[in-house]
Structure 1
Amino acid sequence: MQAGFCCLEVGAVRTKNATNIVMKNLLDIVICALVYYLIGYSLGYGNGSCIIGLTYWAGVGLSEASMAHWFFQFIFAATASTILSGAVAERCNFLAYIIYNAAISGFVYPVVSHWVWHEEGWLVQLGYRDFAGSGAVHALAGTCSFVAAALLGPRHGRFQDGKPLEIAGHSTPLVGVGGLLLISGFLAFNGGSLGHATHPGDGEIIARTIVNTIMGGSGAGLILLGISITGLIGEYHWPFALTLNSILTGMVSICGGADEFSSLGALITGALASPIFLGIHYLMLHFQVDDPLDAVAVHFGGGMWGVISMPLLTKKGILYEGSRKAFKQLGYNFIGLLAISAWSASTSLVIFGILKFSKQFRVSEEEEIIGKPANK
């Protein structure tokens, strides 16, 4: 996943910022590993209360048998913080990047993961269901991305007289390779979310999860192409970036119920994720919020829809059975989505507000125009 994000972001920015983006993606792993080991895993998976965990500080009491779980969850934490880098690309101060990366992966995300996946978590006890993080990872990161991009402001020259001006990245092949790496990474991301592979029936669940992930991405990509070639979003063309991001949005939307969708349900879920992605993409441009990688549209749009589609379109969902249990599940998931979004928005306002108030959030106009590699 990290390699995919790195290639995608590097290809989507201008050459002058390529080294800076690579360095930031490299440090994502280093910073997240440290803060997640010291406090993040404790807050997320330690025993304590329905709000936060209070054990395993600095790895104390963490058995060797639990290291695999720590590693998998560390990747989730790193993904949640890495998503933001696309939204603030080409104008975020390097020091600010280090600070918010540590805060998101070490505090903001772990608290939500405790609510959603630890047996003591209040959303678990309520009945919220999120198999692989549509809400806990993607909606959270998408919300943080929106707050960060809005407070940071658009790149120099991105909007003129209220109209968006295209700022092309320097390498379409790199973007494509990054997208393919992320598509492959999603298979492990979702397939591994079961947490075990040796219990009876695990093989079937993992296989279904992986197939559904592919189907969701396929449905989203095909719908985007259909919308495009029929001229509904402008002149007839084959939009590479929009198609790729639509595919990723479809895969994000599957995370909520990847283990329970039928193949048809996954295809429909992905197909419906595509117009949601497009709607948020154009809303961001309308309000002049600059998001170079469409992080908000992909991750908040796909994550929000994934949380909602799980009780709607899975095999036991409202559109299949229409049971009272399915309607209650929709209510629980909606409450969870609101709670995750509110937590993400409020903590982001504090983190990025302090960075902006202290004038540490954005590089100078001169540095932004000229470019400043991370090693300078």
Structure 2
Amino acid sequence: MGRRTFLLVLLMTAISLTHVAAQDVEAVLELYSQAFDMIWLTLAGALVFLMQAGFAMVETGLTRAKNAGNIIMKNLMDFSMGAIAYFAVGWAIMYGASAAGLVGTDQFFLAGADSADFRDWFFQVVFAATAATIVSGAMAERTKYSGYLLYSAVVSGLIYPVSGHWIWSDAGWLAGMGFHDFAGSTVVHSVGAWAALAGAIMIGARRGKYVKVGDVVTVKAIQGHNMPLAALGVFILWFGWYGFNAGSTLSGTDLDIAYVATTTTLAASAGAIAAMVTSWKWFGKPDPSMSLNGALAGLVAITAGTWVISPGLSLLVGALGGVIVVISVEIIDKVLHVDDPVGAISVHGITGIWGTLAVGLFGDLELIGSGLTRGGQIGVQLIGIGAVLLWVLSTSFILFYLLKTWGLLRVSPEDELLGLDISEHGTESYAGFQIFSNV
């Protein structure tokens, strides 16, 4: 082929390809956008799923060795039970066609789902499981395993999806008011925490935790058995949070992914430091468990506003979360006498309130896009906080009351003393080691 002929063929090919590209460029870009979204949300969902391991390690490390296997089993099964419940009814209640902005009414068992629906279901089911597993830590070491299976399914299949519909469904009544919760400070974390609060109150404290002599109540610290394991759990949770927050951009082509990852990182770091300093001043030593919970508090606090709060202000949001969690843990334990072995109510509930309110206080109103004034946004955030709290507390108290009435809530004193690994599962987590405990 001569030089001129080759150049002519090349020119004609380029003209042809240009013509084809001009006609199909929009379709090609849409295809690539869908592919990036599919990959990103599936990957982000997998990162959030890994948080189950993080929760399991935190709860195991901060409780006693005789209950380690029980903690592992509960974290395995709250996802397994929750996934099926969310498949059967949870997704439909949360994202089905809305009835007055209150509840979804179709797509049960993912009926009529397409590839995008399966993608979105997978990304959402791991959030539902996160809400359910928060309850495990607050009720650890004295809960019947059978009862735990039941309430995990109810939280994932009903309690979480209803409030999720209010906020994350486009037709939800709180969404219509302009309530903003980017990745779930209220939708996920506070839901889990309020259910945990109801459960911890209903089930009562662990044996020997609070000893009353006359009018004086002595609070006994029941130490967790493995702080390195708890620390590993926090690092896994922090890692998974990049799927939790950055994944909530919901698009693999969204250039704000890195922005969200930045505010998430800064808030967690500030929370850990602030909790360390607060515990150092309060207790005279920098407390490891408080510092670890401080990192989680910073993460929970920024989750609602991670996209609309600046990096500089994310430091403030996270730091105040770290201070709040130390104060809250102490008040809930030593003043209110609610036994929460891992501080779940404080980390996910009290700090979740702060993070949701911080959206109104510090969020960029243009990015929020609600059209509200600063005062109006704060007011709507407070309404959402209160509505979810009332819904979850009321339904959870009913749920745990029924479980208690049916004898499915608390193990016997003898089983609690023996440890749930042996009494509930007939096994030991640390075979070959002698585990002594008088509480």
1:172 paired residue among 198, 202, 227 = 227
- Percent identity of equivalent pairs: 36
Match of 1:147 in 2: 198
Structure 2 residue 244 is the aligned partner of structure 1 residue 189: yes
1:29 aligns with 2:79: yes
Deviation at 1:64, TM superposition (A): 2.1
Name 2:357's counterpart in structure 1.
Answer: 308
| Residues 224-239 of structure 1: pairs in structure 2 closer than 5 A | 224-229=275-280, 231=281, 233-234=282-283, 236-239=284-287
Q: CA deviation at 1:314?
A: 2.3
SS of the residue corresponding to residue 160 of structure 1 reads strand
| Other-structure match for 2:125 | 74
Q: Counterpart in 1 of 2:154?
A: 103
1:128 pairs with 2:179: yes
* Structure 1 outlier segments of 4+, above 6 Å: none
Name the SS of the counterpart of 1:26 in structure 2: helix
Q: CA deviation at 1:372?
A: 2.8
Counterpart in 2 of 1:350?
398
RMSD (CA atoms): 1.3
Aligned-pair CA distance for 1:239: 0.5
Does the aligned pair in 2 maintain the 1:265–1:314 contact within 8 Å? no
What is the letter of the counterpart of residue 241 of structure 1? S
Superposed CA deviations along residues 1-47 of structure 1, whole A, max 9, x for unmatched, are 10100111111121111111111111112101110000000000111
Give the superposition deviation at 1:324.
Answer: 6.2
Is residue 266–residue 318 contact of structure 2 (8 Å, CA) maintained in 1? yes
Counterpart of 2:343 (choices 294, 314, 317) is: 294
Stretches of structure 1 lacking an aligned partner (at least 5 in a row): 318-322
For residue 86 of structure 1, the aligned residue among 137, 141, 159 is 137
Q: For residues 38-77 of structure 1, what are the structure 2 equivalents within 5 Å?
A: 38-49=88-99, 50-77=101-128
- From 237, 241, 254, the equivalent of 2:302 is 254
**Secondary structure in 2 matching 1:163:** strand
Aligned partners of 1:140 and 1:341 also within 8 Å: yes
Q: Secondary structure at the match of 1:257?
A: coil
Taking the TM superposition and a 5 Å limit, the aligned residue runs for 1:202-217 are 202-203=254-255, 205-217=256-268
**One-letter identity of the residue aligned with 1:263:** P
Q: 1:135–1:304: 8 Å Cα contact kept in structure 2?
A: yes
Match of 2:18 in 1: none
With over 3 angstroms needed to count, the CA separation of the structure-2 counterparts of 1:324 and 1:40, relative to structure 1, is closer
SS in 1 for 2:304: helix
Unaligned runs of at least 5 residues, structure 2: 1-50, 427-439
What is the TM-score when the length of structure 1 is the normalising length?
0.94
Of 265, 273, 285, the residue aligned with 1:222 is 273
Superposition TM-score, scaled by structure 2 size: 0.81
Letter in 2 for 1:302: T
Tell me how far apart the structure 2 counterparts of residues 324 and 352 of structure 1 sit (CA, whole Å). 38
Q: Deviations over 1:180-232 (max 9, x none)?
A: 0001111110000111122xxx12x1111111111111111111222233x3x
CA shift, 1:315, in A, is 3.4
Are positions 1:359 and 2:410 aligned together? no
In structure 2, how many angstroms separate the alpha carbons of the residues matched to 1:147 and 1:193? 28
- Deviation of 1:73 after TM superposition, in Å, equals 0.5
Amino acid at match of 2:337: Q
Q: How far did residue 175 of structure 1 move?
A: 0.5
Displacement of 1:359: 2.2
**Residue in structure 1 matching 2:288, options 220, 225, 240:** 240
Counterparts of 1:194 and 1:302 in 2: how far apart (Å)? Answer: 22
How far residue 157 of structure 1 moved from its aligned partner, in angstroms, is 1.0
Q: In structure 1, which of residues 284, 287, 303 is the aligned counterpart of residue 332 of structure 2?
A: 284
Preserved CA contact (<8 Å) 1:219 1:250: yes
1:4 aligns with 2:59: no
Cα separation, 2, equivalents of 1:36 and 1:280 = 32
What is the count of residue pairs matched by the alignment?
364
Amino acid at match of 2:246: G
In 1, Cα distance between equivalents of 2:279 and 2:88: 47
Displacement of 1:76: 0.5
Aligned 8 A contact 1:249 1:301 in 2: no
